[in-house]
């Protein structure tokens, strides 16, 4: 019986050793804890690109989709003769230079979706710090283009929140602090997902008659805690809407927006 026991032990240990060996032979990737990236005003383009590459291939998880070519455009290789992303980013959206386009793609990914792809990209402003986002932009610009991100673009640690971007981050909130509801809606990128009148996309619920479905309190909650109650039929898009508008909008803007939407019955 001892011989049988030894054989059983051999089979068990051999099987365990085989699996352990195989798991150690494949590429080893550890999921690191994101560290705050400290980039001062005097940061050089080279430092930004280097930091951006680490985020892009590491904690950003960008290569998961941008590299396959099936889920999302490959950013590091040529696409339809337009070159890598740094070369083509300025031509994607009319009226947007490379830097603005990349910033929008990272923080409001549904504002413009490249034809032929699904709107699956999450808002990176929820997971990356502003420094990390700007570093990624610099890295992407370096792929066939010119790096024009500088220390001036990067907000200080206590500065604007991740969602605040170039051209729309004022001291009083989005859209330069304007209380014009449509200006806020455009600046916040609401129409990237929601339809209002003739404008917008159908990823989120149509807001044209939102006042008929929700009262002012309900609209407030839907903006501040977008996933607390998910509209029927849109469950699969739960989690997409940023939860940062409470920080991005000033109190006046927020109430102006709520009143505007509540009046659309």
Six-digit token pair at 114? 């490249």
Which residues are CB-contacts of 256 (< 8 A; sequence separation ≥ 6)? 179, 180, 181, 184
Segment contacting another protein by CB under 8 A, of 85-93, 179-187, 223-231, 255-263: 223-231
Residues 11 and 247: their CA atoms lie apart, in Å, by 60
Scanning 57-65, 130-138, 150-158, 167-175 for contacts with another protein by CB under 8 A, the matching segment is 57-65
Can residue 157 be called a binding residue for another protein (CB under 8 A)? Answer: no
Cα separation, 185 vs 138, whole angstroms: 28
Distances (CA, A) of 126 to 3, 55, 104, 144, 177: 60, 14, 14, 28, 22
Q: Is 218 in the site for another protein (CB under 8 A)?
A: no
Cβ proximity of 113 and 180 under 8 Å: no
The smaller minimum CB distance to another protein, of residues 19 and 167, is found at 19
For the chain, how big is the Rg over CA atoms in Å? 23
Any contact of residue 122 with another protein (CB under 8 A)?
A: yes
Taking the least distance from each CB to another protein, the nearer of 145 and 181 is: 145
Token representation of residue 52: 């951006």
Instruction: Report, in Å, the least distance between residue 174 CB and another protein.
Output: 22
- In angstroms, what is the minimal distance from the CB of 23 to another protein? 3
CA distance 185 to 215: 18
Its sign, for the CA torsion 181, 187, 193, 198, is positive
Q: CA-CA distance, 223 to 203, in Å (whole number)?
A: 16
Is 64 a residue that touches another protein (CB under 8 A)? Answer: yes
Say if residue 122 is exposed, middle or buried (CB neighbours under 10 Å; 0-12, 13-18, 19+): middle
Give me the least distance between CB of 3 and another protein, in Å please.
Answer: 10
Judged by CB under 8 A, the stretch of 52-60, 169-177, 198-206, 253-261 that binds another protein is 52-60
Least separation in angstroms between residue 135's CB and another protein is: 14
Residue 87 or residue 259: which is nearer to another protein going by CB? 87
In the complex, which residues of this chain contact another protein (CB under 8 A)? 1, 4, 7-8, 11-13, 15-17, 19-20, 22-24, 26-34, 53, 56-57, 61, 63-65, 67-71, 74, 76-77, 84, 118, 120, 122, 126-127, 225, 227-228, 235-236, 238-240
């Amino acid at each position: 019986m001892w011989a049988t026991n030894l054989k059983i032990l051999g089979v068990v240990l051999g099987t365990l050793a085989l699996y352990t060996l195989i798991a150690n032979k494949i590429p080893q990737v550890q999921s690191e804890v994101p560290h705050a990236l400290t980039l001062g005003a005097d940061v050089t383009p080279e430092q930004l690109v280097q930091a951006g590459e680490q985020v892009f291939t590491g904690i950003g998880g960008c290569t998961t989709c941008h590299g396959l070519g099936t889920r999302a455009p490959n950013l590091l290789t040529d696409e339809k003769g337009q070159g890598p992303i740094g070369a083509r980013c300025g031509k994607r959206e009319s009226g947007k230079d490379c830097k603005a386009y990349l910033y929008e793609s990272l923080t409001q990914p549904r504002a413009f979706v490249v034809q032929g792809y699904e709107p699956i990209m999450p808002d990176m402003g929820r997971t990356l710090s502003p420094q990390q986002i700007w570093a990624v932009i610099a890295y992407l610009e370096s792929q066939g283009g010119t790096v024009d991100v500088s220390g001036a673009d990067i907000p200080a640690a206590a500065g604007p929140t991740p969602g605040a971007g170039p051209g729309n981050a004022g001291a009083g909130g989005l859209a330069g602090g304007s209380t014009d509801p449509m200006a806020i809606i455009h600046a916040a990128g609401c129409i990237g997902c929601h339809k209002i009148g003739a404008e917008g996309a159908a990823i989120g619920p149509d807001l044209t008659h939102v006042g008929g479905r929700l009262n002012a309190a309900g609209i407030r909650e839907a903006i501040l805690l977008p996933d607390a109650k998910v509209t029927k039929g849109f469950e699969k898009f739960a989690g997409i809407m940023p939860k940062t508008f409470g920080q991005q909008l000033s109190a006046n803007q927020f109430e102006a927006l709520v009143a505007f939407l509540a009046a659309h019955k």
